[in-house]
Amino acid sequence: MTTPSPPTGAPPALLRDLLDDAAIFPPGEAPMGQAVPAHAAHVSAWYADLVGPFVCSGSRLPDVLDALDATPEVAALDVAVVLDRGTGSLHEAAGLVADDTRLLMAGLEVPLRGEAPADAARRAVATVDAVLGGPDDRHPVSMEVPWAPGWRDALEVVAEAGYRAKFRTGGATAEAHPDEDVLAERVLACLDLDLPFKLTAGLHHAVRRTEPGTGFEQHGFLNVLLAVGAALDGGGAEDVARVLADRDGPALAARAATLDEAGATRLRRWFASFGTCSITEPVEDLVALGLLTSGGPDGEVRA
């Protein structure tokens, strides 16, 4: 086996806005009074280009406003709102954001509930269309499709409506972590439907690993990026699953380092971002793999 050359850095397009800040969600569950100023620090840090919006459940938007009141140095916050109380709460959540100039709706995430995912998707699409007026790149909408029978039908509804898919890739049990074959099937389905997707949970690290303590099998976000590339290059389910299962960090990093801006943009067209309760862990992994250069006097991310 040939030892891969040391990575020389990933193209900026591969990492830009990749990390959605889900600090207040499990397992991190940061207090809101800490999470809001911490997000402000992230978006002014040397790695700011990697950081997406602050993810917040709709029911906790008042807590965000309280945290902003207590942190006057934070002038504004881009928020991606998760409708934790169902699509019926969208009007109230959108109103709270619209009524306060310190908040900007940077995204919306809608968990699909019910025994028939396609029916749930149709209801969600109708509500979002009515309240927000349809797809808009300024606030992309992601519909969280469950790991349940009927998932493909739900994806077709989401794709036809022009929204994004969202999949949950972790949780408090081993069963909440889909294996590489299941995730590969979903990735290929999204590409087949011209459907961008985001992921959330269990993706704190760049490379596939077994989590110490729990034994949970966790996907790596670098694996997912390169798995999308394998699919776009004509790979089938086995090829995509093989990339998702790869634990060779240096080899994966070397492959990522060969991408140019156009190639990186091609991958991110489909894998939009992922939610993580830790921003520092993914950044540290990228630095350790040589895909990100730490710091700099100009404050810019240098990949």
Determine the distance from the C-alpha atom of residue 134 to the mean position of all C-alpha atoms in its chain, rounded to a whole number: 21
Element (H, E) at 286: helix 280-288
Categorize the per-residue pLDDT at 298 as very low, low, confident or very high, splitting at 50, 70 and 90: very low
Helices (H), 215-278: 221-232, 237-245, 249-257, 261-268
pLDDT of residue 6: 65
Question: pLDDT tens digit string along 173-203?
Answer: 999 999 999 999 999 999 999 999 999 999 9
Q: Could you read off the pLDDT of 253-295 as tens digits, one per residue? A: 999 999 999 999 999 999 999 999 999 999 999 999 999 998 7
CA angle 288, 292, 294 (to 5 degrees): 80
Q: For residue 114, what pLDDT band results from cuts at 50, 70 and 90?
A: confident
3-state secondary structure of 235: coil
pLDDT at 300: 45
The overall average pLDDT reported for the chain is: 94
DSSP string, 29-90: ---HHHHHHHHHHHTTSTTGGGEEEEEEEGGGHHHHHHHHHT-TT---EEEEEE-TT-GGGH
Most confident range, picked from 81-85, 213-217, 293-297: 81-85
What is the tens place of the pLDDT at every residue in 117-138? 999 999 999 999 999 999 998 8
What domains does the chain contain, in order, with CATH numbers?
Answer: 12-288 (3.20.20.70)
Contact 143, 176 (CB under 8 A): no
pTM summary value: 0.94
Q: What is the pLDDT of residue 1?
A: 42
